[in-house]
Amino acid sequence: MILIAGPSANGISERIAELRGEKSYSTAHKVFPDGESYIKIPHEIAGEDIAIIQSTNTPQDKSLMELFFMIDKARNMGAKSITAIVPYMGYMRQNKEFNEGEAVSISTIISILNSLQLDNLITIQPHKSGPLRAFKGKTAIVDVTGKMAVYAGAGMRNPLVLAPDKGALEIARKAAASIGCAYTYIDKERLNDTKVSIKHSPSESMKGNDVMIIDDMISTGGTIVQAAEFAKSRGAENVRVAAVHLIMAGNAEEKLRNAGISEICGTNTLPFRGTKTFDISEEIAKSLDEIKSE
């Protein structure tokens, strides 16, 4: 297998290649002054199994278009099989038609990947996995929660995992099981576009606990800030956050720091680097084996 690192590979291709004893090449890439992308696959790949690494870094639309360009080009260059490694898959929140007429973006993206005859798709903890079922090739969904949580939680005293909303309950459960500690959650009710009230919340004190807020992704950071403030109000002294996908839109980092979060931990599915970064390369390398042997 040959690894091709796209412009949004976020530096994971070399380690994956090393772990697997294979070759990795980076695409030649530039953005023209008007904003169009140029991309070149720098190595002969005819007859080879290839894996293209391209996360959907912001701007997501550019990352996706570049992914499409690379898959199509690899096909035209005669690749035997094409695996796309998309550590963070964007557009996962608009996963259904909430209101009539809404474009279900991820469904269009999967349909395009099908039309480009992509063979395999590897991704890490998509926000929802349902839309991926429409993908016609093999799909591997990699879960790094446990390992990331243990790595991010090193040095915590009397740890407690906190899910900032009900949607994060499952990831909190897994994280707590791996760390070997308790977990709890906040349940919110959206009153309107801007107001949210807390319906259920852990009643016990967090005095003496080091709290880890955990979620699959941090976008603007609003949900995490609310959870951090809540934990502090219950007596928690040290509050850190761990999330697989650190999108960190706008001034998210500043907001988290201002809310007294001491550590921002995550993975390298995206370019943001916080206090601790769990390297996903090994898990991706394993999933490549699994997809190959199926």
Q: Which residues are catalytic?
A: 188
- Give the CA dihedral 224, 226, 228, 234, nearest 10 degrees: -150
Q: How far is the CB of 82 from its own copies (least distance, A)?
A: 13
User: Measured in whole angstroms, how far is the alpha carbon of residue 253 from the centre of its chain?
Assistant: 17
Which of 1, 14, 15, 116 is close enough to bind its own copies by CB under 8 A? 116
Q: Which residue has the tokens 């008007």?
A: 34
Q: Which residue has the tokens 């706008």?
A: 250
Our finding on whether 42 is near its own copies (CB under 8 A) is yes
Which of 94, 139, 178, 201 is close enough to bind its own copies by CB under 8 A? 94
Closer of 99 and 197 to its own copies (Cβ) = 99
**Region of 12-20, 65-73, 162-170, 189-197 interacting with its own copies (CB under 8 A):** 65-73
Coil vs helix vs strand at 150: helix
Our finding on whether 271 is near its own copies (CB under 8 A) is no
**DSSP state, 134?**
G
**Count of residues that interact with its own copies, criterion CB under 8 A:** 48
Q: Which residues contact 267 (CB under 8 A, 6 or more apart)?
A: 87, 124, 144, 148, 244, 245, 246, 277, 278, 279, 280
285 contacts 17 by C-beta, under 8 angstroms: no
Our finding on whether 158 is near its own copies (CB under 8 A) is no
Our finding on whether 128 is near its own copies (CB under 8 A) is no
Q: Which residues contact 187 (CB under 8 A, 6 or more apart)?
A: 165, 166, 198, 199, 200, 201
Which of 104, 134, 150, 196 is close enough to bind its own copies by CB under 8 A? 104
- C-alpha 70/C-alpha 90 separation (Å) is 18
**In terms of C-beta density within 10 A (0-12 exposed, 13-18 middle, 19 or more buried), how is residue 294 classed?**
exposed
Our finding on whether 33 is near its own copies (CB under 8 A) is yes
Our finding on whether 102 is near its own copies (CB under 8 A) is yes
Our finding on whether 247 is near its own copies (CB under 8 A) is yes
217 contacts 190 by C-beta, under 8 angstroms: no
Our finding on whether 68 is near its own copies (CB under 8 A) is yes
Which of 1, 14, 22, 43 is close enough to bind its own copies by CB under 8 A? 43
In sequence order, the β-bridge partners of residue 3 are 24, 51
**Region of 10-18, 37-45, 123-131, 203-211 interacting with its own copies (CB under 8 A):** 37-45
Which of 36, 143, 187, 290 is close enough to bind its own copies by CB under 8 A? 36
Which of 8, 26, 79, 90 is close enough to bind its own copies by CB under 8 A? 90
Q: Which residues bind its own copies (CB under 8 A)?
A: 28, 32-43, 58-62, 64-66, 68-70, 72-73, 77, 90-91, 93-94, 99, 101-105, 107-108, 111-112, 115-116, 219-220, 247, 249-250
